[in-house]
A and B are shown apart, each in its own frame.
Chain A
Amino acid sequence: MSSVPGPDRKSKLLVYTIEECPVCGQKTKRAFAVGDYVTKDGSKCSKCSNTTRVSLVYAESSKPSS
């Protein structure tokens, strides 16, 4: 998973990709992979099997595990 130092230096930022189904609106959150970009086609929707689309890529703060 892609991570960068957080603003307080003690935490780090984990980057996620949100895939959204344009038909049923189901959202799936997964780790960011190089090559992901907003509007890129994603995996099949787990609910209705339509092709999802990347709607957001963002970072969340997380405390370090060690």
Chain B
Amino acid sequence: MLASTALQFTGLDTSTLLSLFWIGFIMITFFYQTRLQSYLALNDISRGLNKLKVMKDKARKEAIDYLVNVGKATNDPAQRVDQFLDYVTIMPVDTDPAGVMGKIDHVVTTNNDRVRAEVGALLDQKNPVTVSISENLLEVATSLNQIHKIVRHFYLLGKKTNSYFTLVQLQMLMPMIIQEADALLNAVDSFKMGQPVGDGIGPTVVSRFMTGKEKRVVAKDTVMAVTEYKGRKLYVLKADGPMAYVGQPGVAIQKIIGEMGVKPSAIVMIDAALKLEGEKTGEIAEGVGAAIGGIGVEKFQIEEAATRAKVPLYAILVKQSILEAITVMRKEIAEAADKVSQVLNRIIEEKTKEGDEVVVAGIGNTLGVAQ
């Protein structure tokens, strides 16, 4: 009825009207397409941002609960934890890069010392495992808090400036950001229970060489034992477990080669490595170079020491995803320990001869792995 009235009024037939409708529709989508996509992106990011908020609140709550229930915090730690979450580490200036690694090391060490001192002061329970787990839980909560803040910043900035490209880039990155945040949140359970994480495969392998041997502290949170394998003298080191430490393997190797005067024929490092999509968890890769992640200070120290002493660096890597690296060790990774030991023995046999000295370093978080 209405259509026929419109047709009578305008004097146009149905096909002309339909064509006009489509032309109008195409014009609108042509001119307002980016606005429409910005609106969809905003909705998508907003949903992700809500998820991130839930995650960071949960991590904060879990950290506080652990401090209160297990760490027996003397006072309500909520306020201190909130201050802790916003604490910043200012990296040194790198426009004049000479000596920058020393400066980064200094800043990072200062931060680590501060974290331990503050956590120690909060807790009545002084068990080093509990203190180290508390540190890790607070680090997880801090990381999630930072991720949430950064995503929220770009979300609000994109919204405020109506910047299509800012919003679309953020929208495309959101699935990966959520995946990383999810991995961090999952790590909380493993840390609370004191279970070894996937990253602890290096320490797990070298702990077999250290059991029953005399241990000495060679760097902060780092222990070393001397043992023998087929006529070679092995200097085996890892972070001090079963605390959730990563230690200072860089300082330790520098000390072994420098102060202790050891002249190794090889340095073999065992570490977890992030797998590429399609690679199998627990796959072993061999290579050369310093197998260690982190901010780069330890890697720099190890490379410096090895280059100065002209010692070849060998790496054994166990592949795993970011989620597997920071959550309880999967069976596939744990079962790789035997194969890694075989590879390590082969490298020692092939690359060194009887009477040689070899440094073996198990790199990674040593939670739940003593020696």
Q: Does B211 contact A (CB under 8 A)?
A: yes
Question: Are B323 and A7 within 8 A (Cβ)?
Answer: yes
- Which of A7, A13, A36, A60 is close to B368, meaning CB atoms less than 8 Å apart? A36
The chain B residue sitting closest to A33, CB to CB, is: B193
Question: Are A2 and B330 within 8 A (Cβ)?
Answer: no
Give A39 to B371 CA distance when docked, in angstroms: 6
Say how far A32's CB is from chain B's closest CB, in angstroms.
Answer: 7
Query: Interface residues of A: mostly helix, strand, loop or mixed?
Result: strand
The chain A residue sitting closest to B367, CB to CB, is: A37
Query: Interface residues of B: mostly helix, strand, loop or mixed?
Result: mixed
Collect the chain B residues with CB atoms within 8 Å of residue A38's CB. 196, 204, 207, 241-242, 368-370
Query: What is the total number of residues of chain A having a CB less than 8 Å from a CB of chain B?
Result: 22
Q: Does B292 contact A (CB under 8 A)?
A: no
Give B332-343 as 1s and 0s: 1 = Cβ < 8 Å from A's Cβ atoms.
011101000000
- Which of B186, B241, B323, B334 is close to A56, meaning CB atoms less than 8 Å apart? B334
Give A7 to B189 CA distance when docked, in angstroms: 14
Give A38 to B331 CA distance when docked, in angstroms: 14
Question: Are B189 and A37 within 8 A (Cβ)?
Answer: no
Say how far B59's CB is from chain A's closest CB, in angstroms.
Answer: 15
Q: Does B171 contact A (CB under 8 A)?
A: no
Give A60 to B204 CA distance when docked, in angstroms: 18
Give A23-51 as 1s and 0s: 1 = Cβ < 8 Å from B's Cβ atoms.
00000000010111111100000000000
Question: Are A4 and B190 within 8 A (Cβ)?
Answer: yes
Q: Does B268 contact A (CB under 8 A)?
A: no
Query: What is the total number of residues of chain B having a CB less than 8 Å from a CB of chain A?
Result: 27
Question: Are B334 and A58 within 8 A (Cβ)?
Answer: yes
A4-30 interface (Cβ within 8 A of B): 4-5, 7, 13, 15, 18
Question: Are B196 and A37 within 8 A (Cβ)?
Answer: yes
Collect the chain B residues with CB atoms within 8 Å of residue A57's CB. 195-196, 328-329, 334, 368
Q: Does B327 contact A (CB under 8 A)?
A: yes
- Which of A35, A40, A59 is close to B331, meaning CB atoms less than 8 Å apart? A59
Give A5 to B195 CA distance when docked, in angstroms: 15
Question: Are A15 and B328 within 8 A (Cβ)?
Answer: yes
Give A51 to B208 CA distance when docked, in angstroms: 16
- Which of A13, A34, A35, A55 is close to B328, meaning CB atoms less than 8 Å apart? A13
Question: Are A59 and B329 within 8 A (Cβ)?
Answer: yes
Collect the chain B residues with CB atoms within 8 Å of residue A32's CB. 193, 195
- Which of B186, B194, B333 is close to A37, meaning CB atoms less than 8 Å apart? B194
Say how far B195's CB is from chain A's closest CB, in angstroms.
Answer: 6
- Which of B194, B241, B331 is close to A60, meaning CB atoms less than 8 Å apart? B331
Given the contacts A4-B186, A56-B334, A37 and B370 also touching, CB distance less than 8 Å: yes
Say how far A54's CB is from chain B's closest CB, in angstroms.
Answer: 9
Q: Which 9 A-B pairs have the closest CB atoms?
A: A58-B334, A37-B242, A38-B369, A39-B370, A59-B328, A37-B368, A56-B334, A4-B189, A58-B331
Binding site for A on B (CB under 8 A): 186, 189-190, 193-196, 204, 207-208, 211, 241-242, 323, 327-331, 333-335, 337, 368-371
